[in-house]
């Protein structure tokens, strides 16, 4: 008999809910609606919206006369400028916490700090952050990375909103050793922190963890990392189709958690599939 437990704070966060509502509202009111890149990092949810009329463009040059929705992760200042030149209707679905991080990046840079961003340099949120400081910041994925900055002794530190608190603290200590001043602004969003904490607590209690969410989702990848770091056997899936029966041999307690962009219907579906194992 397998016992299932779903982590508290699983699934949609405020910023994702808001972005999806904006898409649905915009589709209702306009005939041609597109996002630049996926609105959120969940292929299934994006597909659901595509089936309701949303178009996903990879490049600004593909735009003709669509109403353009800015994705939850934000876009670069260069893209924004180009968008304005296109003279199309723009709807901004950037997560307010991401916007806040962009403002803090600018503030620290303007005040003379060399800015460090804990994050993935190819993630759209980080690319956007960088663009707002004219690419002058240093992006760091590994908190133990050797810091090589000559000249400036005043460092600023922020994070991609979906990074882990533990990594952020480790990077802060690493940077502190290399500078005279360190101005830290905690831009990891509260929903991320709560979700990570619940996942950590659950991972300690169960035999295996099922982490549900886009393979391209930064916050979901962090959840899988956190569960693994607690010594828990962990499987990251997007949908119930990926579940393999053999994972559950000699397993009695299964924990489930889901990223900020994972819709409830996918979580429910995984739960239903797992219940069938009994």
Query: Least separation, in Å, of the C-beta of 183 and its own copies?
Result: 5
Catalytic residue chosen out of the listed positions 66, 79, 125, 238: 125
CB of 168 to its own copies, least distance (A): 8
Exposure b/e, 13-24, CB count within 10 A at least 16 = b:
bebbebbbebbe
Residue 275 is a catalytic residue: no
Residues whose CB falls within 8 Å of the CB of residue 113, separated by 6 or more in sequence, listed in order: 152, 154, 155, 156, 181, 183
- Decide: helix, strand or coil at residue 256: strand
Per-residue HEC secondary structure of 64-96 comes to CCCEEEECCCCCCHHHHHHHHHHCCCEEECCCH
H or E element in which residue 225 lies: helix 218-229
Interacting span for its own copies (CB under 8 A) from 74-82, 88-96, 132-140, 181-189: 181-189
How many chain residues bind its own copies (CB under 8 A)?
13
Closest by CA to 111, choosing from 171, 154, 168, is 154
Closer by beta carbon to its own copies, 77 or else 109? 109
Comparing CB distances to its own copies, the nearer of 65 and 111 is 111
By CB under 8 A, tell whether 226 contacts its own copies: no
What is the distance in angstroms between the CA of the first residue and the CA of the last residue of the chain?
6
Which position among 135, 181, 268, 275 is part of the footprint of its own copies (CB under 8 A)? 181
Q: What is the x/- site pattern for its own copies, positions 132-171, by CB under 8 A?
A: -------------------------------------x--
Shorter beta-carbon distance to its own copies: residue 165 or 269: 165
Min CB(239)–its own copies separation in Å: 36
Rounded to whole angstroms, the Cα distance separating 107 from 98 reads 14
Q: Which is nearer to its own copies, 20 or 171 (CB)?
A: 171
Q: Please, which residues have CB within 8 angstroms of residue 25's CB and are 6 or more apart in sequence?
A: none
Q: By CB under 8 A, is residue 182 in contact with its own copies? A: yes
Q: Shortest gap between Cβ of 173 and its own copies (angstroms)?
A: 6
Helix (H, G, I), strand (E, B) or coil at 147: coil
Q: Does 173 bind its own copies (CB under 8 A)?
A: yes
Per DSSP, 30 falls in state: -
Q: Given candidates 32, 86, 186, 197, which one binds its own copies under the rule CB under 8 A? A: 186
Tell me the C-alpha distance between 131 and 272, whole Å. Answer: 44
Written as six digits, the tokens of 275 are 């219940």
Does 201 participate in binding its own copies (rule CB under 8 A)? no
| 129 is an interface residue for its own copies by CB under 8 A | no
Question: Binding to its own copies by residue 176, rule CB under 8 A?
Answer: yes
Q: Which of 2, 4, 185, 251 binds its own copies (CB under 8 A)?
A: 185
Catalytic positions, written as ranges: 125
Residues in contact with its own copies by CB under 8 A are 169, 172-173, 176-177, 179-186
């Amino acid at each position: 008999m397998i016992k299932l437990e779903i982590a508290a704070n699983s699934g949609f966060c405020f910023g994702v809910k808001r972005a999806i509502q904006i898409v649905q509202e915009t589709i209702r009111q306009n005939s041609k609606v597109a996002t630049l890149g996926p609105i959120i990092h969940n292929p299934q949810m994006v597909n659901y919206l595509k089936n309701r009329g949303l178009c996903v463009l990879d490049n600004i040059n593909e735009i003709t006369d669509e109403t353009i929705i800015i994705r939850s992760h934000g876009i670069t200042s260069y893209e924004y400028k180009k968008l304005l030149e296109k003279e199309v209707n723009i709807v901004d679905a950037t997560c307010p916490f991401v916007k806040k991080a962009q403002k803090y990046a600018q503030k620290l840079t303007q005040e003379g700090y060399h800015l460090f961003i804990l994050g993935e340099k190819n993630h759209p949120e980080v690319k956007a952050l960088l663009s707002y400081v004219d690419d002058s910041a240093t992006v760091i994925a590994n908190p133990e990375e050797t810091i090589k900055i000559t000249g400036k002794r005043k460092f600023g530190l922020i994070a991609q909103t979906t990074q882990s608190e533990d990594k952020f603290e480790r990077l802060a200590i690493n940077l502190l050793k290399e500078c005279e001043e360190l101005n830290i602004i905690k831009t990891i969003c509260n929903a991320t922190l709560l979700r990570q904490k619940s996942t950590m607590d659950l991972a300690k209690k169960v035999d295996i963890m099922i982490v549900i969410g886009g393979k391209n989702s930064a916050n979901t990848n962090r959840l899988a990392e956190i569960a693994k770091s607690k010594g828990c056997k962990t499987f990251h899936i997007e949908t119930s189709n990926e579940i393999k029966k053999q994972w559950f041999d000699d397993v009695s307690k299964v924990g489930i958690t889901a990223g900020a962009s994972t819709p409830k219907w996918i979580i429910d579906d995984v739960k239903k599939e797992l219940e069938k194992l009994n």
